[in-house]
Amino acid sequence: MPTLMHPLMGGNFSTLLRALRRQGGVPLKTVPHMLAFLGAAAVRLPATLLERAMMGEVPVGPDYDSEPVFVVGHWRSGTTHLHNLLGCSSRFGIITPLASGLPWELLTLASWFRPFLEKGLPEDRGVDQVAVTPQSPQEDEIPMANMQMLSVFHAVYFPASFQRNFDEGVFFEGVTEEEVAEWERRILYFYRKVSRHQDGKRLLIKNPVYTARMSRLLKLWPKAKFIHIHRNPFVVYSSTVHYYRKLLPELALQSFDHLDVEEMVLTNYPKLMDTLDQDRRQLRDDQFAEIAFEDLENDPLAVLKGIHERLGISGWQDAEVSTQRYLASLKSYQKNRFSLEEEDELRVRQRWAKWIDRWGYAVPGAR
């Protein structure tokens, strides 16, 4: 049974009602959840409208002035760890937990009631032991799922049509030009709001979905920079399967008994990485950096310095001290560890061989 402290609590009327219609409704047992989401949207509506008036019309089209930095990579590849490390720099603007939870009311309710709301933050992310603090940088996929229809989280929330929702929300397959245009309007609106909230600092964004969207993001922000992090595919497979098995019971508003999680992960990884390969060809050398999670884990300061130098990002000397403090706080952190069945190992080796061979990975612990 999903929790009532659900991310869709931050959705607006339009997104919630369209999602219900598009997804064919929800079973009786989760109707109270949808009523709670709609009730929350009603309570927030005055602040939502006030904030939209405050922001005014946000121009749609390329933003040639902003230079956001995007962290991309398949889920469970270390994107969060890299995001947190880069976020130690005071020169970056981030999406805070409250910005993620209240994207429509970031400048009003989230700011007015910040001390009270921050007390309700979870201790960690649930799927792992990564701590959540009021200043922990968050990805933008949850807020985008609350603002329009194209999001991978709609696959998690409404898994009756999981693969269709995944293909639409990640690859924009089968969607209309109007839906893509709405996504563009919403992301421009949200980033403009986050920039204002973060005093105009350069935005640092992490989102695994954007591994398949670099070309689209480049059209909106021609000066954007991208950092791709990869990790041992055998570890990524096991961790991603665990991720969905943990997430679906907590967030799914429809039955997911039919979903073959292992096959879904095996299918979607190559598709995501192939799209990354195509999109990276459009980027200059100073717009794209690729690192291995294992290198970041072994020598984080050297890897981070190298990223700053390659992409021409200033401020590493100022960020190094705060990064060292953050690294010191992780000494007691315990990563999730998973075993891999021989059959799964064989399937990963066969179907993900292109990337296993490219990056020179082997099964962890293999001689």
Largest separation between any pair of C-alpha atoms in the chain: 62
Q: What burial class does residue 43 get, using C-beta atoms within 10 Å of its C-beta: 0-12 exposed, 13-18 middle, 19+ buried?
A: exposed
pLDDT tens profile 72-96: 999 999 999 999 999 999 999 999 9
Instruction: Say what the pLDDT of residue 332 is.
Output: 65
> What domains sit in the chain, N to C, each tagged with a CATH number?
7-58+67-332 (3.40.50.300)
pLDDT tens profile 297-348: 999 999 999 999 999 998 898 899 999 999 998 876 556 666 788 899 999 9
Q: What burial class does residue 280 get, using C-beta atoms within 10 Å of its C-beta: 0-12 exposed, 13-18 middle, 19+ buried?
A: middle
Instruction: Say what the pLDDT of residue 367 is.
Output: 45
**Rounded CA separation 165/174 (Å):** 10
Q: How many residues does the chain have?
A: 367
Average pLDDT per block of 10 residues along the chain, 367 residues long: 81 95 94 95 95 87 91 97 94 94 94 75 55 80 97 97 97 96 95 95 97 96 97 96 95 96 97 96 95 96 96 91 90 67 93 96 75
Give Cα 219 to chain centroid, integer Å: 20
Instruction: Say what the pLDDT of residue 5 is.
Output: 81
Type of residue found at 260: D
